[in-house]
């Protein structure tokens, strides 16, 4: 059989780990196939698009693999056989995805624009794709663009606390001008979190015009107190309003395309999203306030239950949608001044890679050489809040390994909440220890959960290996 040519695009909301691990898994699987496979993988990470696919490479390919939880400009694959799956599918079953292209079982992708290069206002979703997955990808597109603002602003605010908890307050005796500067800049970054979220949800649906309406909708959500929940609603409403406008004005002469982009869609889009948000602002604001109050109350009244839920969510899919739900909730509460909730989330996110690291450290002879190397690297990844380092271990037997990781993460989160630790930064792992209130207790919580989880995982590997150490 002739060499099979495949092109692929990977992307995850954070654009740090899943994106590149999926690319590596696809390349490795391609090398191990019985059939000679030539694959090129384009990655959509936080640094932007790398190893970009050219038009000729797409044209010559026998098929395309899209393993992404965000918009990767799929319109360019019109007419090709496309396997479109979540990014984690490429980590767990890369051979199956490649085999679908080899066997020509992948469906032909039909873009809404009929295969022409998408203009700045063409709708990004096309064909008969799964509606739920399309909604999820749009949401994750917003989260992906929002996270750098959250992390950057949050860390600057956290650093300002090094000068004193009230050092940014001009009226307090501990005021420090530089701390005030850091706090102000960080606060500005935090303040655009919801508008950016809404803008890029809408951008994934209605492209540039959607982004404009979404941003304004997000600003209205912030102004009204509708917050994060209001931003999500504004993003989807703005995106689909632009889709509606594109449909209503599609019969205008092509010569007026520029007018639509620069005048008609922005003016009508902003006007319509303003009307929608005006009607929804009060009820959504009340719902948002009630939700945040409930989470805060559970945090103090039942730290055991909250820690169990947060720990299980963070370790369940390690960077996937369930993990992101807990993380984003933590960042939202953090922006409102709640430093306790994020402490548990961070602990639960740090624990999974450390669990695998301790398992390898204690029971190294029951792991392969590759796993031992990965386990040692996970001491670094876990310490810097990169949960995805545990994925290769979990992928080999998720039914057994995931509950172990969830158990260890839950212990870490529960102890964090019982200790009353406060973490003012949304990311960074142990790098932000200087600004953590109760840093030693936080370390005790994380290492307790990680070591217990590591012992259980190591004993499991010892049991399945029997008395014989693994060779290699």
Give pLDDT tens digits for 403-424: 999 999 999 999 999 998 988 8
Q: How far apart are CA 273 and CA 161, in angstroms?
A: 38
CATH number for 4-102: choose from 3.40.50.2300, 3.30.470.20, 3.40.50.300, 3.40.640.10.
3.40.50.2300
Catalytic residue positions, numbered? 12
Both structure tokens of 292: 């945040």
Which residues, at least 6 apart from 83, have a Cβ–Cβ distance to it below 8 Å?
Answer: 63, 64, 65, 66, 97, 100, 101, 106
Q: How far apart are CA 254 and CA 394, in angstroms?
A: 52
Query: pLDDT per residue over 157-199, tens digit each?
Result: 778 877 876 788 888 888 888 988 988 998 888 888 889 999 9
**Which residue spans of the chain are classified as CATH 3.40.50.2300?**
4-102
Query: pLDDT per residue over 95-126, tens digit each?
Result: 889 889 888 888 888 766 544 444 434 434 34
| Of 42-56, 247-261, 395-409, 453-467, the least confident | 247-261
How confident is residue 145, by pLDDT bands cut at 50, 70 and 90? confident
Contact 28, 8 (CB under 8 A): no
């Amino acid at each position: 059989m002739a060499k099979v040519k495949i092109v692929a695009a990977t992307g995850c909301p954070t654009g740090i780990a899943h994106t590149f691990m999926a690319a590596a898994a696809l390349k490795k699987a391609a090398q191990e196939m019985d059939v000679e496979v030539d694959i090129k993988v384009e990655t959509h990470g936080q640094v932007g698009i790398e190893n970009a696919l050219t038009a000729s490479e797409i044209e010559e390919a026998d098929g395309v693999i899209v393993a992404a939880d965000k918009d990767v400009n799929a319109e360019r694959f019109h007419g090709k056989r496309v396997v479109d799956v979540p990014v984690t599918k490429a980590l767990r079953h890369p051979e199956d995805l490649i085999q679908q292209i080899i066997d020509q079982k992948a469906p032909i992708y039909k873009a809404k624009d009929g295969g022409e290069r998408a203009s700045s206002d063409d709708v990004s979703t096309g064909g008969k794709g799964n509606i739920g997955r399309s909604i999820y990808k749009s949401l994750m597109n917003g989260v992906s663009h929002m996270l750098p603002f959250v992390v950057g602003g949050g860390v600057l605010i956290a650093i300002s606390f090094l000068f004193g908890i009230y050092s940014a307050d001009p009226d307090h005796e501990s005021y420090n001008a530089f701390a005030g500067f850091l706090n102000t800049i960080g606060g500005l970054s935090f303040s655009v979190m919801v508008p950016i979220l809404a803008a890029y949800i809408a951008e994934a649906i209605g492209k540039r015009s959607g982004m404009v309406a979404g941003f304004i909708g997000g600003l209205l959500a912030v102004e009204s107190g509708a917050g994060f929940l209001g931003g999500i609603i504004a993003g989807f409403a703005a995106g689909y309003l632009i889709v509606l406008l594109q449909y209503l004005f599609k019969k205008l002469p092509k010569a007026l395309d520029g007018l639509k982009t620069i005048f008609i869609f922005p003016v009508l889009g902003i006007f319509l999203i303003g009307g929608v948000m005006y009607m929804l602002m009060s009820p959504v604001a009340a719902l948002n306030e009630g939700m945040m109050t409930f989470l805060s109350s559970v945090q103090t009244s039942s730290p055991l239950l909250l820690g169990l839920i947060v720990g299980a969510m963070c370790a369940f899919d390690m960077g996937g949608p369930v993990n992101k739900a807990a993380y984003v909730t933590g960042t939202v509460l953090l922006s409102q001044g709640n430093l306790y909730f994020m402490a548990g989330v961070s602990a639960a996110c740090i624990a999974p890679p450390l669990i695998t690291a301790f398992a390898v450290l204690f029971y190294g002879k029951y792991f392969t050489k590759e796993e031992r190397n990965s386990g040692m690297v996970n001491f670094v990844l876990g310490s810097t809040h990169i949960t995805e380092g545990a994925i290769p271990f979990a992928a080999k037997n998720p039914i057994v390994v995931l509950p172990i990781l969830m158990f260890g993460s839950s212990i870490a989160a529960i102890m964090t909440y019982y200790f009353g630790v406060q973490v003012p930064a949304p990311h960074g792992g142990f790098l932000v220890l200087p600004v953590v209130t109760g840093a030693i207790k936080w370390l005790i919580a994380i290492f307790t959960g990680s070591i217990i989880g590591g012992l259980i995982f190591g004993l499991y590997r010892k049991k399945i290996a029997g008395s014989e150490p693994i060779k290699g």
